[in-house]
Amino acid sequence: MRALLALIAVTAVWGLTFVQVKDAVALYPLFAFLAVRFAIASLALAPPTPVVTNPRGQMMIGRQPSGYDANLRWNASPGAAAYRVYWREAWTTDWQHSQAVGEVTEFMLPKLSIDNYVFGVAALGPGGHESLVSAYVPPPRRDPVVKLR
């Protein structure tokens, strides 16, 4: 019964969007509109982004076992079939390397110093849809409040 109701709801939404799509295509270039629409659909089908911090807000990254290795840990994402680890040099803005690591929640990259690289992890769904990358970047420091008399 739930499946039938879900199918009816999807059919109703699909049918009601034709007017909006017609108006949107009149205002925006077709390929840009489709690119945005498919990007939104892809993100909607992807599993949630993995959490790379512990309950206290500290990043789960270390230098084990040699002191020069990058040991990454993250919390499992519901619906994830596998994970992909990303890394880049600290002074660059785009991910330079990636590696699919399977259905694990810990991975070690040997001989990559956590001081020279930025790391991230994304969840992969069963259909191949990928979540956004969750980067191992510390949150901004909060400046203490200074009261002057």
pTM of the model: 0.73
Fold of 61-135: Immunoglobulin-like (2.60.40)
Write out residues in the chain with pLDDT < 50, as ranges: none
Residue with tokens 């020279």: 116
Among 102, 69, 103, which residue's Cα sits nearest to residue 87?
A: 69
What does DSSP assign to residue 87? E
pLDDT in the model for residue 45: 83
Domain boundary assignment for the chain: 2-45, 61-135
pLDDT in the model for residue 17: 80
pLDDT in the model for residue 124: 95
- Positive or negative torsion for Cα 143, 75, 115, 86: negative
Q: What residues contact residue 33 under an 8 Å CB cut-off, 6+ apart? A: 24, 25
pLDDT in the model for residue 90: 92
pLDDT in the model for residue 62: 93
For residues 102 and 15, give the distance between their C-alpha atoms in angstroms, rounded to a whole number. Answer: 39
pLDDT in the model for residue 122: 97
